[in-house]
Amino acid sequence: MKRNRKAKIVATLGPASSSPDMIDALFRAGVDVFRINMSHATHEGMRALVGMIRGVEAKYRRPIGILVDLQGPKLRLGSFAEGAVELKAGQSFVLDDDPSPGDQHRVYLPHPEILEALRPGHAILLDDGKVRLEVLEASPHRAETRVVAGRRLSDRKGVSLPNTVLRVSALTEKDRRDLEAALHEEIDWVALSFIQRPEDIAEARKIARGKVGIMAKIEKPQALERIDEIIEISDSIMVARGDLGVEMPIERVPGAQKRITRASRRAGKPVIVATQMLESMITAPVPTRAEVSDVAAAVFEGADAVMLSAESAAGEYPVQAVETMNRIAEEVERDQHYPQIIHSQRTEPESTGADTITAAARQMAETLNVAAIVCFTSSGSTGLRAARERPGVPIIALSPIREMARRLALVWGLHCVVSEDVGNVDEMVDRASQIAFQEEFATPGQRIIITAGVPFGTPGATNLLRLAFVGSDGLTGI
């Protein structure tokens, strides 16, 4: 299952894609990581999906990543006495802690943490931003607002707060239960929703205890203000453009996407671009030209992965959506301008031995036109460093730890193989040559570059670079 692209594909599972045959078809179409959305999945459903994915993994003997996406805090209004009201621009409207049904002038807000955090001038967006309020006066019990943009507003609509930082955990009780349940399964990544600050990640890290990678979803403007700190404390980042586009002017979202993608690349952290990438393929067998350009832009930008949500979870054409995304990524990476664009975004290596060796490996690989870079990685850091360089040649990541190989399936350019650890340099060269040949990246007589850490098995100690030939039998490095 060798992919002909370096950008990875994440696909969400749901009603349209929750059978073993469909998961198998999606994997063959190009999926590298499957996402399970806990906003809709039960614990039993999550376990069943993990089992199906691991069945496909065993069939093809290729590491597959699994991302469990936690729901996060869902902020909603109370209900109205008549089910809905019509709000008009300029009128007054009150949000309060009175649980009685609302009317034309007020409604219950069952979130005391919001009332405590609101300040005059703050914006409140209701129903995905269709209704906009401006806070005039605020207290812990009520907020008097002015309707800036009005329309019909019905029961239990969502609340977004683009200016307000809530002093509550990003993990709800449901999230904690879901996280604990997920940690008992063979999953690789957990995504945290509605992150506002670095502290929001600390609790999940404590619960996860290093068993899974922690992904921060950037979907609130408050997170952008501290993006570098959030990237530093996270293992990966998702640009969740749906909610981000609700809470900030939509014309600023493309710039935010570029900023987050480039900051993540500088830090060597995987970054996913998500939401509405091929939205029209929920009901149509082909995407719009604008959607194709959107996916292509993320690939040109060097994002580690692009993601399908409803397209693969509930759409009518899940396999076609994956195939389309696969073709777009392959075509972009063949484009004559792609290497130049990727190179222009490359950052200077840090002044460490590991970074220097990885940068040297990329330069040698491109100068000598080698078949592949083979990196031995147990902690994943050698693989991540190799990917951060965005070399023009394939990267084969060999790990003795199956869980790490699965986690690295998300990372740009890494073809992950589970392989026993080596004991010496000669064994390292033989193993690298053998796998490069078996995985069809190199033919006899071609050269490969090998990076590893010595002593072997020492996490994070990339300190060895070796140039080797693939032997005439395809097995022995010379």
Q: Are strands 84-86 and 152-154 parallel, antiparallel or unpaired?
A: antiparallel
CB–CB of 42/304 below 8 Å? no
CB 369 within 8 A of CB 389: no
Distance CA 188, CA 18 (A): 19
Entry pTM: 0.93
> What distance lies between CA 449 and its chain's CA centroid?
29
| Angstrom distance (rounded) from CA 331 to CA 407 | 26
Write the DSSP symbol of residue 349: P
Q: Tell the residue number behind the tokens 């992919």, with chain if given.
A: 3
Q: Which residues of the chain have pLDDT under 70?
A: 457-460, 472-478
Which tokens hold the place of 325? 């995304």
| Cβ proximity of 396 and 377 under 8 Å | no
What pLDDT shows up at residue 473? 64
Is 220 known to be catalytic?
A: no
Q: What is the pLDDT of residue 476?
A: 56
Tell me which long-range contacts 2-5 makes (C-beta under 8 A, separation of at least 24).
2/415, 2/439, 2/440, 2/441, 3/30, 3/32, 3/415, 4/330, 5/326, 5/329, 5/330, 5/333
Q: Give tens-digit pLDDT for 366-379.
A: 999 999 999 999 99
Give yes or no: 275 in active site.
yes
**What is the pairing mode between strands 159-160 and 123-126?**
antiparallel
Among 275, 324, 377, 451, the active-site one is 275
* Cβ atoms of 418 and 60 closer than 8 Å: no
- Spot the catalytic one: 3, 76, 252, 346: 76
3-state secondary structure of 133: strand
| Angle between helices 318-334 and 289-300 in degrees, nearest 10 | 50
- 294-311, pLDDT tens digit by residue? 999 999 999 999 999 999
The token pair that represents 391 in the structure block: 């070399």
Under a CB-based contact definition with an 8 Å cutoff, are residues 8 and 411 in contact? yes
Helix intervals (H) in 314-369: 318-334, 338-344, 353-368
d(CA 384, CA 328): 24
The question of whether 35 is a catalytic residue gets the answer: yes
Q: Among 5, 157, 197, 217, which one carries the catalytic annotation?
A: 217
Judge contact between 153 and 129, C-beta under 8 A. no
- Is the alpha carbon torsion for 280, 285, 287, 288 positive or negative? negative
* Ramachandran sector of residue 449 (left: φ over 0; alpha: ψ -120 to 50; beta: rest): beta
Rg (CA), the chain: 24
The DSSP annotation for 250-290 comes to GGGHHHHHHHHHHHHHHHT--EEEESSSSGGGGT-SS--HH
SS3 at position 338: helix
β-pairing, 65-69 with 372-376? unpaired
Q: What is the pLDDT of residue 326?
A: 98
Q: Which amino acid is at 303?
A: A
Whole-number Å distance between alpha carbons of 134 and 143: 10
Distance between CA atoms of 472 and 478, rounded to whole angstroms? 9
Q: What is residue 325's predicted lDDT score, i.e. its pLDDT?
A: 98
All domains of the chain in start order, with CATH: 8-72+171-335 (3.20.20.60), 84-160 (2.40.33.10), 353-469 (3.40.1380.20)
Give per-residue pLDDT as tens, 144-201. Answer: 999 999 999 999 999 999 999 988 888 999 999 999 999 999 999 999 999 999 999 9
Taking Cα atoms as reference points, which of 231, 237, 316, 321 lies closest to residue 276? 321
End-to-end C-alpha distance for the chain, whole angstroms:
27
Q: Catalytic: 76?
A: yes
- From 5, 35, 157, 431, active-site residue: 35
CA distance 144 to 446: 72
Look at residue 116 in the predicted model and tell me its pLDDT: 95
Sign, CA torsion 234/239/242/243: positive
Separation of alpha carbons 244 and 252, rounded Å: 10
* pLDDT > 90 fraction of the chain, expressed in percent and rounded: 89
* Best CA proximity match to 204, nearest among 194, 190, 218, 217: 190
Give the CA count within 13 Å in the CB-facing half-sphere of 348: 2
Residue type, 66: I
On the question of a cis peptide bond just before residue 455, with omega within 30 degrees of 0, the verdict is: yes
Taking the C-alpha atoms of residue 53 and residue 375, their distance in angstroms, rounded to an integer, is: 26
